[in-house]
Structure 1
């Protein structure tokens, strides 16, 4: 079983492609942070990531480790995951927060098989209640993600912009023929 990460800046199309892959019968794991953000907003905290990064990161670490381990129990050859452990480090660096040792350790020990980067794409970029970054900030986040994953030894494969089917097929072709 291969763990395949979809990473990239906010609003780059990851969730849309994940939905398409799910429709095609693949096991897919949603972005953990959306649930954490919605839970915090229900408690009256608009941006937990900025207000209390330690609490946010602790919940995120727990959720991402759970997703990683859940992959061991699936029947499919591939598990597609919306963001991985090194994302925590990349986002922390973006806001100048030091990552906890357990985040760094988990990022070293729990290794994914493929990492696909969705580049910032202005034509489809939009903000929402959980995605508050500007397009310019999204570009900076993208650079941090690529730098962080490369630092942790990953070959980052950039997904070309295009329609949903083409992007999904691109990922599947790379995975199947690598």
Structure 2
């Protein structure tokens, strides 16, 4: 069963693409970091990403979701490779949990990764407080980490959701 990753910088439209794929009947796995941030903030931790165990906790949740995921073809909103990029971005150490999750991701996901490009603006939320300039730098780091880990990036340019979906699904059909 093929497992594909959608990744990129905050504000690139990954979650919208995941929701559209889900609406079309595809199996999707939601992003772990945003859910973890929401849970921590509900418990009074205003900026959970400043906690040293933040990326290790994301990796554990990602591994749980990966183990529970079902369906013929899966689309994942981010992966442990993204968490590795985040750990580097935040200057956090790479925990044993994250290192193990990265190895699992390299073995379990398709080598083709879908990478929506930034849309040119950022909509801020409680979890997304990054500026557009920071998002651009984070996008470059994501690209570098995925390539370093041996993945091929397929870019989805900032077009309509329909065009992005056609590109994504068309690429899978030709793979």
TM-score, normalised with respect to structure 1: 0.91
Partner of 1:97: 92
User: In 2 relative to 1, CA 102–58 (structure 1 residues): closer, same or farther, beyond 3 Å?
Assistant: closer
The equivalent residue for 1:68 is: 66
2:128 maps to: 131
Q: What displacement does 1:62 show? A: 1.3
Offset at residue 161 of structure 1 (A): 1.5
Match of 1:174 in 2: 171
Runs of 5+ consecutive residues of structure 2 not aligned to the other structure:
none
* Count of residues in Structure 1 that have an aligned counterpart in Structure 2: 172
Partner residue in 2 for 1:16: 16
Q: Distance in 2 between matches of 1:110 and 1:127?
A: 29
Is the CA contact 2:7–2:115 (under 8 Å) kept in the aligned structure 1? yes
**Equivalences for 1:42-61 in 2 at 5 Å?**
42-50=42-50, 52-54=51-53, 56-61=54-59
Q: Compute the displacement of 1:107 (Å).
A: 0.8
1:53 aligns to what SS in structure 2? Answer: coil
- Are the aligned partners of 2:60 and 2:101 in contact in 1 as well (CA < 8 Å)? no
Structure 1 residues 109-164: Cα deviation after superposition (integer angstroms, max 9, x where no partner): 333113111112214x2111110100011011111111111111101111121111
CA deviations 1:79-98 (Å, max 9, x no partner) are 01100001111011112222
Q: Distance in 2 between matches of 1:57 and 1:106?
A: 11
Give the Cα–Cα distance (whole angstroms) in 1 for the partners of residues 140 and 162 of structure 2.
26
Moved over 6 A (4+): none
Q: 1:29, CA displacement in angstroms?
A: 1.1
Match of 1:122 in 2: 120
CA RMSD across the alignment: 1.3
Give the SS at the match of 2:92.
Answer: coil
Matched residue, 2:75: 80
Unaligned 5+ segments in structure 1 are none
Mapped to 2, the partners of 1:93 and 1:58 lie a distance apart of 12
Q: Residue 145 of structure 1 aligns with which residue?
A: 142
Q: TM-score, normalization: structure 2?
A: 0.92
